């Protein structure tokens, strides 16, 4: 289409239990790889739960993984990732966990093997923060924010 090339990085994963499933892209060009629950969880309305995936990954420095909601769960059941997007640091070696919340009005049951969220790999820019003594540069926006440009 635009002549841009796809970028692919290698990400090693470990199964922390035999029934864990590796993150899986549902289609060839999916941005997110689905994450699977390894346990049954019951989410009553308004409640949250940390759902185990049974997977750990090793990202190279300069990358992160984001745990994002699945829109189908949000649309059909009001179930979403509470801390979306969850941040997986490249130095994290623990199990990937998904913090789900039920914003719906009915009980939502998760079964082991269900796809509960999706993992997006992204490059990270690390800032070198330096203190400045002079004024910051002048812009049209200035200090306006939080709706300052109108509805
Ligand atoms: O949805 C999430 C979010 C985070 N993590 C793991 C990976 C991440 O690298 C680590 C720390 O996450 P974060 O920095 O968001 O949490 P924190 O509250 O700042 O904890 P910490 O003090 O451990 O950084 O927890 C998950 O498994 N799932
Ligand atoms: Mg942190």
Give me the pLDDT at residue 24, please. 98
Is 48 annotated among the ligand-binding residues? no
For residue 110, give the CATH number of its domain.
Answer: 2.70.40.10
Buried-exposed string 22-51: b where 16+ CB fall within 10 A, e elsewhere: bbeeeeeeeebbbbbbbbebebeeeeebeb
Range of the domain at 119: 32-123
Q: Is the ipTM of this complex over 0.90?
A: yes
Alpha carbons 64 and 90: distance in angstroms, whole number? 6
Inside any domain, residue 75: yes
Average pLDDT, rounded, for the chain: 98
CA nearest neighbour of 52 among 39, 43, 65: 39
* DSSP of 36-53: E-SS-EEE-TT-EEEEE-
Q: How many domains does the chain have?
A: 1
Give me the pLDDT at residue 90, please. 98
pLDDT single digits (tens) 120-137: 999 999 999 999 999 999
Query: What residues flank ligand 1, with Cβ below 6 Å?
Result: 67, 83, 86-89, 92, 96-97, 99
Inside any domain, residue 100: yes
Question: Is the Cβ–Cβ distance between 18 and 64 less than 8 Å?
Answer: no
Inside any domain, residue 53: yes
Q: How confident is the model at residue 54 (pLDDT cuts 50, 70, 90)?
A: very high
Inside any domain, residue 82: yes
Inside any domain, residue 88: yes
Inside any domain, residue 150: no
Inside any domain, residue 10: no
pLDDT single digits (tens) 84-96: 999 999 999 999 9
Q: How confident is the model at residue 38 (pLDDT cuts 50, 70, 90)?
A: very high
pLDDT single digits (tens) 21-31: 999 999 999 99
Instruction: Please give the model's pTM, rounded to 2 decimal places.
Output: 0.96
Which one-letter DSSP state was computed for residue 71?
H
Cα(88) to centroid(ligand 1), Å: 6
Inside any domain, residue 25: no
């Amino acid at each position: 289409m635009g002549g841009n090339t796809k970028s692919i990085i290698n990400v090693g994963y470990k199964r922390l239990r035999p029934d864990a499933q590796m993150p899986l892209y549902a289609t060839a060009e999916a941005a997110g790889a689905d994450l699977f629950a390894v346990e049954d969880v019951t989410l009553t309305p308004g409640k949250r739960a940390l759902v185990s995936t049974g997977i750990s990954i090793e990202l190279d420095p300069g990358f992160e993984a984001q745990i994002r909601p699945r829109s189908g769960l949000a649309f059909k059941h009001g179930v979403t990732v509470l801390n979306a997007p969850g941040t997986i640091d490249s130095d994290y070696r623990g199990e990937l966990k998904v913090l789900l919340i039920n914003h719906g009005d009915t009980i939502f049951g998760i079964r082991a093997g269900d796809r509960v969220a999706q993992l997006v790999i992204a490059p990270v820019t690390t800032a070198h923060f330096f203190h400045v003594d002079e004024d910051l540069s002048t812009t049209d926006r200035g200090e306006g924010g939080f709706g300052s440009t109108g509805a």
